[in-house]
Structure 1
């Protein structure tokens, strides 16, 4: 009756840590005293066990005539203990001993995992029930060998977390004298050189604090980028181009990044609804993986075409017809990322579908995303440098009568914009290291690829501007007639 009544105490009525600690210590002390009253003398061995709402109890007693082939094991629903009770009994004058194991189902409400004080700031989670192991009515309580406690995990195990076997020391959880012998996703085996009140606590890193400014900036920048991706695609579709101009890479780059940024933005806005559906989250992760990789492949194709154009303007048409036809470029642009995503899904089926519905940030992430991206960024940077060198030599041969100042300014802007269009600015992502100013610069540059594509290939293109003027004239003439 008293143990059942303690269930009310185990529901904390106060958030005061001192009150919780005091109540927890009182429940532990009272429970152990009550259970010790169940220990009775025996010549061989005896056991008592019962289960209540708040506590589960196992008691094992041995007498002077006890003969056991192996160390007795005390079992509860979520834990069991192996203790050399015969060896302890031999060290007592009465040649008898008893051990009691109490497993509390709700004790963590009082003795919270946050009472485990560590130097690092982490999230602490109780992974087991709280148990108490005592040697009631035993004169010499010295252990002959360490005691092994096996705890079944009562919560989902995080592979990135750090597990600790701890015991309660009046006011806090500490690890002195206890160590982890073995652990997996289901249980943890602890070894301790003393008896007390024990538990298993997992420490995990705290998620980075959400920066409202960065989130708002991300929403605004990505939205603006999506608008200019759409304007660029609309311009490419409506305007007539010279047969010598190949826009296939720019069009597909816009399509890939437009869909990728749009899907990622929508996913983050409705993450709380999407995340519980693990299948949907994994599918979205795989699609995003494909779209972003496709975007990088098209950046590489654009860099190659631009390099060929600058290197030898007279051969670009024949080269496009013979080796770099639109069909061939489309096959490369979409097959390569599809193969990479498919292979990563086969090798690591759980690689897609993180907490933010993206690919997992482990070695698979490095192989399936950062690997190809690093190769493309390195290649594009080299091609960009070669393009600059070739353009510089071409500019030196320009007719001196041309308005050098105006042409040079436009060329400098186009060159800097091309750096972003080819994705070279993504390199900044490797150097942010939590620095807010670099993160903001990275966000602004890489969300505005569509803006730079629209400016360089539409606004600053003489043919496009002329066609815009013609369209406006026709519209104005039509309005006047009406």
Structure 2
């Protein structure tokens, strides 16, 4: 009882939910008693939280991070549109940029759907946003897997390059068709078993217990993608160690490994591993708060990391952006255009 927090509430028949409006605790909990005072007559109850559910700081981090991510993703997609013709001259570049553009697009749509999911928006809208988030995030993870598998294929089968038609066909199946089937089947299963597909307060999937609840139609596919991407990252690192640095040049090899991990971790969505740790850790564990903040920061700012990885860390994209900037600030003859030149003319 020392670790619970009481809430005096009444049943709001109109909203079909508990509400604390007009109700308050008039005396602190004394042993096993809680004294409430309400200004109206209806059905009353005392709700107990196992811990402090206030997460104002995490909410601020989430909204700031998602705002920054959305802006970065919009800028990134605009840059990709401008430099697309110049950076996809080889099949490998086409595969990579196609995957990253899909990842960025559906991460952007998922973030927007998340921000739009406010409490009290209505059941139909809440259901629509739940389906959108479920679908958009699954498509995002599916394209992450397409990118990682393509990278491993290119590393292992150096002399058997992946044909464009084959990549686009299988990527479309994995990236679009499979997520649509997963979302559709999970909804139909919920209807068939007469279980809730979504939570009307959170506008997200339902967790009942282990392997029960619609949330597993998201968790299990994401877990499979993350395992595949971890394996891909290990293959990349092992290949890099074997082929890049000569004997005695361990420093360069370490630098290369660190660079690969930093660049591929956000693109492969490996920061979501912390989310699975949150499902395992007990809320009383000191590491739970650390993991909670780490998960919130890393994944709300994922759009920023993707922008840095796909734009600033890509030399071809960086060079093309610089060319575009220089072409806007200089004339065809190489002289800088200015208002003075216009006046002289």
TM-score band, normalised by the shorter chain? 0.7 to 0.9
Change (3 A) 1:468 1:406: farther
Change (3 A) 1:125 1:214: closer
In 1, Cα distance between equivalents of 2:174 and 2:303: 22
Q: Which moved more, 1:326-335 or 1:378-387?
A: 326-335
- The 5 A counterparts of 1:117-132 are 121-123=5-7
Change (3 A) 1:381 1:392: same
In 2, Cα distance between equivalents of 1:126 and 1:468: 59
Alignment check: 8 A CA contact 2:143 2:175 kept: yes
Shift of 1:355: 0.9
1:323 equivalent in structure 2: 166
Q: Secondary structure at the match of 2:54?
A: coil
In 2, Cα distance between equivalents of 1:222 and 1:359: 20
Q: Secondary structure at the match of 1:396?
A: coil
In 1, Cα distance between equivalents of 2:197 and 2:258: 42
Aligned length, in residue pairs = 292
> CA deviation digits over 1:87-133, x for unaligned, max 9?
xxxxxxxxxxxxxxxxxxxxxxxxxxxxxx99854557688xxxxxx
Shift of 1:265: 1.4
Residue 438 (structure 1) aligned with residue 291 (structure 2):
yes
Alignment check: 8 A CA contact 1:345 1:352 kept: no
Alignment check: 8 A CA contact 2:139 2:179 kept: yes
Q: Secondary structure at the match of 1:307?
A: helix
Residue 471 (structure 1) aligned with residue 304 (structure 2):
no
In 1, Cα distance between equivalents of 2:74 and 2:293: 23
If you compute each CA radius of gyration, which structure gives the higher value, 1 or 2?
1
Tell me the C-alpha RMSD between the 2 structures.
3.4
> CA deviation digits over 1:427-480, x for unaligned, max 9?
111223442222111112222333233223321222222212222221121451
Residue 259 (structure 1) aligned with residue 109 (structure 2):
yes
Aligned counterpart in structure 2 of residue 229 of structure 1, from 47, 54, 73: 73
Residue 382 (structure 1) aligned with residue 210 (structure 2):
no
Change (3 A) 1:473 1:407: farther
Residue 449 (structure 1) aligned with residue 302 (structure 2):
yes
In 2, Cα distance between equivalents of 1:205 and 1:384: 44
Alignment check: 8 A CA contact 1:354 1:360 kept: no
Q: Secondary structure at the match of 2:207?
A: coil
In 2, Cα distance between equivalents of 1:307 and 1:451: 25
Residue 422 (structure 1) aligned with residue 275 (structure 2):
no
User: Structure 1 or 2: larger strand share?
Assistant: 1
In 2, Cα distance between equivalents of 1:477 and 1:118: 71
In 2, Cα distance between equivalents of 1:441 and 1:234: 29
Change (3 A) 1:383 1:407: closer
In 2, Cα distance between equivalents of 1:253 and 1:231: 14
RCO higher in structure (CA 8 A, sep ≥6): 2
Aligned counterpart in structure 2 of residue 212 of structure 1, from 53, 56, 61: 56
1:334 equivalent in structure 2: 176
Q: Secondary structure at the match of 1:355?
A: coil
> CA deviation digits over 1:25-63, x for unaligned, max 9?
xxxxxxxxxxxxxxxxxxxxxxxxxxxxxxxxxxxxxxx
Change (3 A) 1:458 1:118: closer
Change (3 A) 1:412 1:365: same
- The 5 A counterparts of 1:48-67 are none
Residue 295 (structure 1) aligned with residue 145 (structure 2):
no
Residue 372 (structure 1) aligned with residue 221 (structure 2):
yes
2:24 equivalent in structure 1: none
In 2, Cα distance between equivalents of 1:422 and 1:450: 13
Residue 249 (structure 1) aligned with residue 92 (structure 2):
no
User: Structure 1 or 2: larger helix share?
Assistant: 2
TM-score, normalised to structure 1, is 0.54
Shift of 1:255: 0.7
TM-score, normalised to structure 2, is 0.73
1:357 equivalent in structure 2: 203
In 2, Cα distance between equivalents of 1:119 and 1:381: 39
Alignment check: 8 A CA contact 1:303 1:383 kept: yes
Q: Secondary structure at the match of 1:364?
A: coil
Shift of 1:341: 0.9
Alignment check: 8 A CA contact 1:420 1:452 kept: yes
Alignment check: 8 A CA contact 2:237 2:260 kept: no
In 1, Cα distance between equivalents of 2:159 and 2:48: 58
In 1, Cα distance between equivalents of 2:243 and 2:256: 15
Stretches (4+) displaced over 3 A? 117-127, 155-158, 200-205, 312-316, 404-411
Shift of 1:237: 1.5
